[in-house]
Amino acid sequence: MDAKTFAREIETHIRPATFPVAAKLLRPEDAVPEKAKRPWRDMKIQIAICQAVSMARRYGWTVAVGAEDVNCALTKTAFGFAPLTEHYTAGHLACGMYTESLAAGARTEAATHRLPEGKYKHLLLGPAARAEFVPDALVIYGNAAQVMRLLTGALWKRGGAITSSFTGRVDCSDEIIRAMFLQDYQVILPCYGDRVFGQTEDSEMAFSLPASKMEELVEGLAGTHKGGIRYPIPTFLRYSPQYPEHYYELDKIWAAEK
């Protein structure tokens, strides 16, 4: 299944407020699409990767970011755009903000999936509905009910449960790198930086998947839709409301006039 077909099915079953995003990691020898926007070249700004995701999902832009475009030390490290240092692995970037001690910070950094330095040179992001590339992962933002709906579709064939982990930081790694590494679905709790710089709203969550799962998820959404699991959630309306006691005086008046 291609990303454009996948996006149409997501729009049908999930109706997200922003575009589903296709993500692809480009090796040094891979060409960056000419029409892709480059933050430093085209806007003279350096950004966090969560901002690039938001540009893709909110503006509908195709964006490519590399070392020259990114100024977030955490994501430059995670995506292999900069060297992994002892200062990072020792927990200094987490300690005092996210953790009480260096040891706790080191455990937090170790929980983040990372790519080897230099393996990839750029991250390409764009709305899946217009993607002219084969993605490695796809990311869908929505409210909790929409993410639940995606989850039920993901479990249609295999059943059971989906396990995700959360650190409250570097959610771009969770969305893209972890989905690729594990080749499985991920429920994403947007991190602090995503909320500050990506301007993700308090009501939003995300759901990601490797490209290998696109067809399975679409089949699952169709199957669960047929089974009655749908979005918007069909609230139960077939009941008699209850009113304040004095409303019922009119019933007595109407009954007496008959």
What local confidence, expressed as pLDDT, does residue 114 receive? 97
Q: CB–CB of 139/53 below 8 Å? A: yes
Q: Whole-number mean pLDDT of the chain? A: 97
Q: CB–CB of 231/15 below 8 Å? A: yes
What local confidence, expressed as pLDDT, does residue 22 receive? 98
Query: From CA 186, how far away is CA 164, in angstroms rounded?
Result: 6
Distances (CA, A) of 158 to 185, 192, 216, 219, 220: 12, 33, 10, 12, 10
Q: Averaged over 66-72, what is the pLDDT?
A: 98
Angle at 88 between CA 82 and CA 93, to 5 degrees: 115
Q: Pairing state of beta strands 205-210 and 137-142?
A: antiparallel
In this predicted structure, the answer to whether residue 87 has a pLDDT above a threshold of 90 is yes
Q: Averaged over 110-124, what is the pLDDT?
A: 97
Of all residues in the chain, what percent carry a pLDDT higher than 70? 100
Sheet with 205-210: strands ordered across: 63-65, 122-127, 21-26, 137-142, 205-210, 186-188
- pTM higher than 0.85 for the full model? yes
- Model confidence at 173, pLDDT cuts 50, 70, 90, reads very high
Query: From CA 257, how far away is CA 126, in angstroms rounded?
Result: 68
Distance of CA 147 to the CA centre of its chain: 9
- Model confidence at 246, pLDDT cuts 50, 70, 90, reads very high
Q: Averaged over 85-96, what is the pLDDT?
A: 98
- Model confidence at 258, pLDDT cuts 50, 70, 90, reads confident
- Model confidence at 191, pLDDT cuts 50, 70, 90, reads very high
Count of C-beta atoms within a 10 Å radius of residue 113: 16
What 8-state DSSP symbol labels residue 47? B
Q: Averaged over 195-215, what is the pLDDT?
A: 98
What local confidence, expressed as pLDDT, does residue 152 receive? 98
Q: Averaged over 186-205, what is the pLDDT?
A: 97
pLDDT in tens, 16-48: 999 999 999 999 999 999 999 999 999 999 999
Query: From CA 15, how far away is CA 8, in angstroms rounded?
Result: 10
Q: Helix (H, G, I), strand (E, B), or coil: what is residue 38? A: coil
What local confidence, expressed as pLDDT, does residue 164 receive? 94
- Model confidence at 143, pLDDT cuts 50, 70, 90, reads very high
pLDDT in tens, 206-225: 999 999 999 999 999 999 99
Of all residues in the chain, what percent carry a pLDDT higher than 90? 100
> b/e per residue, 122-144, with b = 16+ CB within 10 A?
bbbbbbbbebebebbbbbbbbee
Count of helices and strands (H, E) across the chain: 11, 6
